[in-house]
Structure 1
Amino acid sequence: MFTRLLALFCLLLVVTSSAYPASAASGFREMTIPGTASDHPLHLSLWYPTGADTEPTRLGETPAFVGLPVIRDADPAPGPHPLVILSHGYGGSWRNLAWLASELVDRGYVVAAPDHPGTTTLDMGPADTVTLWKRPTDISRAIDAVLGDTTLTGGIAANRIAAIGHSLGGWTVVELAGGRFDAEGVMTDCLAQFGALYCKIFSALGVGRDPAATAALGADLSDSRLGAIVTLDLGPGRGFTPQSLAAVQIPLLVLSAGENIDPQTAQRAGIAATNKDSFYLAGHLPSATTQFTLVAGALHFSFMQLCKPGAAALIEEEAPGESIVCRDAAGANRQSIHRQVSDMTLAFLARALATK
């Protein structure tokens, strides 16, 4: 799936300028976190409140996808601000949840979104793809970078930090909450447990390829600075041990697509049964601190950015089979789905971080 989708993004990844009311715009900047002997360089996108009145541009505007107003490199409004880190799905990028970043900034949050090397749209190098355990550390490194430089954001409230992830990004943020992934168990009779598609994805991600990778994936990758977690139709979730999920101590909001894509379409598109993963997660997390909701009308890609009218046909022409990224359930409207998700997320974070 994502090989074809990469070609699509390369064709359509054109940012254009357009006037928006200045009051509707977020500050926005991009930076690179330097690599180390053990960690890759990390591209990081930042959205933040600003009082600047410079004419904004549309970020991420393409022939297929709707862009959002930002003022590049604007001076940040004084903090301290709460911080949310976003984690994209397999083959995605920071652009996928930019719509949610904009909503969060409107409520005073700073938002940071790393591109995960090896599993991001323009960087699917096999050497990084198979180091899945580095995804959670990407988030921790992003927190380090943002906390370490107040000039980037106007200052962060270090006791009010949350993380939100879609699809494989949901797996990533559960790791940060204390979930422990049992790679050996997942790969034992994988076909019977998960089905051929999931096993193919696991293989591409290097799950269970050797004892060192299994140990790295099973290690404690949590980050105690996080006070709340939101998952958006996560996958894989069923590889987390029930014991580790039961021991998670911070609040989680588990949002799942309320509708399932038919199996044949899912198989062609390379989408696993993530609905089962959300149910599994919610069933093993502490009930007192977990909120689980099926999002009506949502399919797996409904949590991504808005598609323009005619986008599905354009995408199908450029990358046959990939128009599924613009599909929602019959009769559903993605803008309305986004409103549901945004409202639930903002209310949850307000409660979870209120006393932090």
Structure 2
Amino acid sequence: MNLSPNRKLFLNIFLFLVVIGLIIFVIRDSLGEIFEELTTTPWPILAGVTALGVFSQLIEGYTIKNIAAEYNPSFSIMDGFFASAYATFYRVVTFGTGSIVAEVIYYRKKELKLSQGTGVTALRMVTYKIAVMIWAVVFLFLESDVLQEEVPNGIMLVLIGMSVTMAIVAVLLLFSLNVSAQVVFVKISNRIFKKQRWRDLVDRANLQFYSLRETIQTFIQNKQVVVKVFASNMAKLAVWYFIPYFILSQSYPDLSMSLSIALISFTVTLGGVLPAPGGIGGLEFVYVLLFKHIVDDVDAVSSLLLYRYATYLMPFLIGMVYVLVTKQKEIKTEFDEAKETKKEVDE
């Protein structure tokens, strides 16, 4: 649909104002507790947590760059850095419903096809979940005795979380790599779902499976890229998992780093499979449930808020700045186009 310069300008200004309104609402109502915690945090801890958060975001940029560069060699680490932040921003303001679409749109702007952008998004999720599962297995082996002692039924909970994660990855890979399974999925879905809304969802899932198959086939052909992507996913999680220990060890010098990392690994494993909008709520619940066994409740909540700042709020703020600057540039460009059109009409 071709819009006139004036209509495009009006639409972009309207969207700009909507985005600002959503930012104000989210910061005031959903992220207020994290901002309050930041104001009471000693600056050395805040600086360290900030540095770890930025470092993990750069690693994520490296991961995305290695996947997306298979389609666009000019795709850089900073492009990947902002892709992750852009998706996080829309995940927050849409309460988890718009992050995938936003990320695909971002890749479109970076000259990837729709199917390629969808595939990169899906593959990023799959490799991340595999890395989460690997870390959980490692620390379940290393800290199973302590976990069973400190957290009753902790091993069973972690195994349930790992099983759900494994099932999600297995289903995605099965339907993405096996054409026959994809055909069966579509046939069964069309028999079960009669409403157009559900059929649209099936079509969207089918497109994602197709895109992921194309991406994986391109991805696995380059063994060096496969190693880099999995290694960088593991490295990003290692940085994330070090954050609670960095925070809590200031007040608990006898805290075991291995146990702290194990608990946050189990938290991410379980929090990622609990039904909660945009991943908000599930992780917080599990974090406090596990960490209150080794520190008091106040310190557990305080470290949780700082952890969420590094892994959630910071990418959101980076994405917010990126969106506002990008939208401002678009409005300026369209304003200039509207002025030029008016000038031509007057002449």
TM-score by length of 2: 0.31
> Between Structure 1 and Structure 2, which shows a larger proportion of helix residues?
2
> Between Structure 1 and Structure 2, which shows a larger proportion of strand residues?
1
Q: Which protein is bigger by CA-based radius of gyration?
A: 2
TM-score by length of 1: 0.30
